[in-house]
Amino acid sequence: KKTYGLAEALKKLGVKDHNGGTSTGSNWMEGSGKISSVSPVDGQEIASVGVTTAEDYEKTIQTAEEAFKTWSNMPAPARGEIVRQFGNRLRELKDPLGRLVSYEMGKSLQEGWGEVQEMIDICDFGVGLSRQLYGLTIKSERPDHSMQEQWHPLGITAIISAFNFPVAVWSWNTALAWVCGNVTVWKPSEKAPLTGVACQNIIAEVLKENDMPEGISCLVNGDYKVGEMMTKDSRIPLVSATGSIRMGKIVGQEVASRLGKSILELGGNNAMIISKEADLKMTLIGAVFGAVGTAGQRCTSTRRLIIHEDIYDELIDKMKNAYAQLSIGNPLDEKNHVGPVIDKDSVSNYLKAIEKAKAEGGKVLVEGGVLEGEGYESGCYVKPAIIEAENHFEIVQEETFAPILYVMKYSGDVENAIALQNGVKQGLSSAIMTNNMQEAHRYLSSKGSDCGIANVNIGTSGAEIGGAFGGEKETGGGRESGSDAWKAYMRRQTNTLNYGNSLPLAQGIKFDI
Ligand code: UN1
């Protein structure tokens, strides 16, 4: 496969040539004002996009509604065929798109490619799904009656995505929404708008080659005000939002106030429990990748290690050694493990969190800090830190989107560790490292982890697309991606069909006229 230089990649994806403007379905619109995308890798402005105005938005929704008529009428497998072609385009463009992801938001190139791989995987899943979307047949209580349950398209699906997985989370939503017969309107993060433009360019080409309206996939750009246009719009039956708990509460309430549906995938405060019967070699890889991958900016990042007291010192030593081997720097350089965080606000949140942890009594085991000097000019490179802390600390209870890992001890049974793990408001991902079968099963039982994702001998991050992705409590309860998450993108219809010559009423009710 061809690999690209950065400049060439930007050109190939059509993000550098166009000077502002948002693709809103069938047209490129200039919008008003602009959002400039500044790379945290080198602090350079890459390009900018226009902000969607109320007028642009109106045209977008009309374009989407028009496209829905064509799209929802097509057989689902024919929609799957478009998704198949999109997946193939992504295979061809995995290198440049992964590079753009890495350059625009700072994750390592390996992870940038991994993110595009998730897009390809969900397309494959969507293609298979397009020949399924199974309903049920149900036995009727009445003679000569049959019952069934079918799934129909909903309409427009709005997608609000975050900077940390700027393209994969969109694709989880779109691949499913599209095969389900919906059209999509996407507001990418203002911190990574160019990956949005790149994806729009790719799908637009596929749609054009197939003589399909581009309004099947629409893009809007802007901050929360553009998000609000969507959450308040009753022409949009479903809003899928990924981001902070604060954002999710607003979106959830606005959509609920018009009785719309939402899928919320919000913050995590993911813990790994390390039993005294854990394989420490596996633990080390899982814990370090979980804590520093994507510079600690995954929803699934490992934020807490809950370690059995018998192996605490040994594991902490190993963690310190491993952290000392990490190379931090330009994520496009494959020898680096850790790139920058997204921007300077994020750096300042990272610094404040470390200060707060110390003030609450935390003990720094691996020192953090902002890197300076050659290669670090953007000011967004920080050192992954490890802090010994207690679960009840306010700062430990919060999700800080940065590479800070809190470690704590437990003693006695695994129940004690589970109580600590579950003792936070969030409930996204979780893991236990153990070779003890009883502990593992207990962890997965109803009395175990309270999270949407619970793993054994695997870290908290890096879920495959085949499972439903999302979590409980303040994580918002939504599920995206695999399993039967597609059902949230459709409306369920119960049909009762009478093939007899009389009309008996249900529940035996007599009504003669
Ligand atoms: C996210 O951080 O919003 O499980 C998504 C993972 C990735 C997806 C993370 N597959 O870490």
CA of 299 to the centre of ligand 1 (A): 6
The DSSP element (H or E) to which 200 belongs, if any, is helix 193-209
Query: 51 is written with which tokens?
Result: 């902000």
pLDDT in tens, 204-227: 999 999 999 989 999 999 999 999
What is d(CA 128, CA 59) in angstroms, rounded to the nearest whole number?
Answer: 33
CA of 298 to the centre of ligand 1 (A): 6
What is d(CA 487, CA 157) in angstroms, rounded to the nearest whole number?
Answer: 13
CA of 462 to the centre of ligand 1 (A): 6
**Test site for ligand 1: of 195, 469, 480, 481, most ligand atoms within 8 A of the Cβ:** 469
What is d(CA 233, CA 226) in angstroms, rounded to the nearest whole number?
Answer: 11
**Test site for ligand 1: of 301, 461, 465, 481, most ligand atoms within 8 A of the Cβ:** 461
The answer to whether 512 touches 505, Cβ cutoff 8 Å, is: no
Model pLDDT, residue 17: 52
Model pTM? 0.96
Model pLDDT, residue 26: 39
pLDDT along the chain (513 residues), means of 10: 87 70 48 86 92 92 96 98 98 97 98 98 98 98 98 98 98 98 97 94 95 94 95 98 97 98 98 98 98 98 98 98 98 97 98 98 98 98 98 98 98 98 98 98 98 98 98 98 98 98 97 93
Residue 451 falls in the annotated catalytic set: no
CA of 21 to the centre of ligand 1 (A): 29
Taking the CA of residue 242 as reference, the ligand 1 atom at the shortest distance is 3
Taking the CA of residue 268 as reference, the ligand 1 atom at the shortest distance is 2
> Which of the following is catalytic: 265, 399, 474, 480?
265
CA of 463 to the centre of ligand 1 (A): 6
Model pLDDT, residue 48: 86
pLDDT in tens, 473-485: 999 999 999 999 9
Model pLDDT, residue 29: 56
Model pLDDT, residue 73: 98
CA distances 494 to 147, 417, 486, 490, 497, Å, are 7, 45, 17, 13, 10
Q: Three-state DSSP class for 413?
A: coil
Do you know the residue count of the chain?
Answer: 513
Task: Supply the residue whose CA is at minimum distance from atom 7 of ligand 1.
Answer: 462
Residue 462 beta carbon below 6 angstroms from any ligand 1 atom? yes
The answer to whether 119 touches 90, Cβ cutoff 8 Å, is: yes
**Test site for ligand 1: of 191, 265, 272, 300, most ligand atoms within 8 A of the Cβ:** 300
Residue 107 beta carbon below 6 angstroms from any ligand 1 atom? no
Residue 298 beta carbon below 6 angstroms from any ligand 1 atom? yes
* Complex ipTM: 0.98
How many CB atoms are located within 10 Å of the residue 460 CB? 29
Residue 265 falls in the annotated catalytic set: yes
Model pLDDT, residue 19: 46
Query: 158 is written with which tokens?
Result: 């709005």
